[in-house]
Amino acid sequence: MSQIPSFREWETSEEIKLSEDDLNFLRHTVNVDSRGKAKENSKIEIIPLGNDKFKLRAKSYVGSIKIPNSHIIQITPKIKAANFFKLLGYSENFSDIDFFKELGNAEEGDDLLDWIAKLFIRFVNEIIQEGIYKSYVSGTEEISTIKGRLLIVNNIRNPRITQEKFWCEFDELSTNTLENQILLYCSKLLFELVKDEKLKDDLHHIQIAFEQQDVESVFLDSYHLDLITYQKFNEHYENSFKLCEHILKLTWYGSFSDSGDLPIFGYLHNMNDLFQNFVTKALQETYTKYKVKKEPRDSVLLQKQKKSIIHSGIKAFTKPGNLKPDIVIYDKDHNSIPKIVIDTKYKKDNPSAGDYYQSLAYSLTLDCPVLLLLPELSEQRKGDYELVPELNKEALIYVRTIDFSEVPDEDYLEVLKNRLKVEIDEILVK
């Protein structure tokens, strides 16, 4: 089966061959919504060509997807890796974290996860050179001599006639600590997702180094990092744990199987969320004389149940999707008076009829203009719309794009924020 090449967001892969298992994984594991329901082409569009041959088209996610026993699909952003990490660090409030500053130096040509893996390998090798952390770990064991605390109940339940042993609980200096388990676990996650053989080899050597020190493989999640307390003997782990938290939050995997394997599904960034978070934070920093809120209210549409439906046994339609604005800019002195609604749409294509209907609902309901904001990836576009006069109602919809193209020898984030300000100013002053 041919190797799936890396391809960019919104672009299409080369022709490949996929088995029925591959297709089922893409359809029922990858393309699912937040409630776990299959949603056709939500992350990867599958384009059939006949004779088990297909093309895949990237949607609004970037990163890596691992098809079990087959390919690793790698989707790179339209923008350079360095600028992607700058955007991510800024939007997620990671800008002050050292490892995100270093990722801001990433160069063209490497996949996102390659840069994460390179930095992880460097941090962990420094830890191994300085010395793997040891701490006292509580253990329970049946031993021939009494050590620590004698477990009376366990010994009564297991009486011995000859060759007496005792159940004891004791503390022992060990490398099998949570700190080392986290590093071992993350090295295994990365090993399954990177394609570069040199990176795989380096990650494998890290696994061997910890396993030879009797560090166990256990299932972990990002919240386990909250259990770590830094002190003199483990403070050299801090940078690596900032990176591990990012890996654990973004890596998508199942639980351990009966065979002890850990199924790794992918490492994905939702570009819709990244775009909305960037715009929100940039507006909050720029428009201090206003109040900028992200998703500030409940849905503008509520379900009204009539008694005749409730008592007739007739089922009501399911509730509509999320009908609440992404961002609202309010008058600072009158928090209930919206000045403008901003609906971010991270898509390559023109806004759909549904996008316009949703914007129209916001404009009529909140009595203010609505800005449909899209990223600019090919050419700058704009449009202004209002209701026809004979309807005797006012609604304004603006459509604008923000240029995300590369900025040589300038501060990428500041240039983007200035480009955003130009578009918002034009509407706010009207």
Helices vs. strands in the chain: H and E counts, helices first: 12, 17
Q: Looking at residue 229, what is its pLDDT?
A: 85
Helices 112-130 and 178-193 pack at an angle, to 10 degrees, of 150
**Residue 265 — left, alpha, or beta (φ > 0 → left; ψ -120 to 50 → alpha)?**
alpha
Q: Looking at residue 257, what is its pLDDT?
A: 54
How many CB atoms sit inside 10 A of residue 202's CB?
A: 21
Per-residue pLDDT tens, the chain, 430 aa: give them: 445 668 888 889 888 888 888 888 888 888 887 666 777 778 899 999 988 899 999 888 998 888 877 778 889 888 888 888 889 889 988 766 777 778 877 766 567 888 889 989 999 999 999 888 888 777 777 766 766 666 667 776 666 655 577 778 877 788 888 999 999 999 999 998 888 899 999 999 999 999 999 898 888 888 888 888 888 888 889 888 988 988 888 887 765 555 556 677 888 889 999 999 999 999 999 999 999 999 886 666 666 665 555 555 666 666 666 678 899 999 877 667 889 999 999 988 888 898 999 899 899 888 899 999 998 866 677 788 888 877 778 889 999 998 887 777 678 899 999 999 999 998 887 6
Q: Looking at residue 1, what is its pLDDT?
A: 43
The span from the CA of 355 to the CA of 357, in Å, is: 6
Q: Model-level pTM?
A: 0.80
Q: Looking at residue 303, what is its pLDDT?
A: 63
84 within 8 A of 92, measured Cβ to Cβ: no
DSSP string, 84-117: HHHHHHHHTT-TTSHHHHHHTT--TTS-HHHHHH
Q: What strands, in cross-sheet order, belong to the sheet with 149-150?
A: 135-143, 166-174, 149-150
SS3 59: coil
SS3 423: helix
**CATH code, residues 271-428:** 3.40.1350
Query: Which residue, among 364, 338, 345, 360, has the nearest Cα to 427 in the 3D structure?
Result: 338
291 within 8 A of 332, measured Cβ to Cβ: yes
Query: Measuring CA to CA, how many Å separate 178 from each of 51, 109, 121, 253?
Result: 49, 35, 19, 20
The span from the CA of 88 to the CA of 83, in Å, is: 9
SS3 57: strand
Helix (H) or strand (E) holding 62: strand 61-66
Structure tokens at 286: 């720029």
245 within 8 A of 222, measured Cβ to Cβ: yes
For the chain, the domains span 1-76, 135-174, 271-428
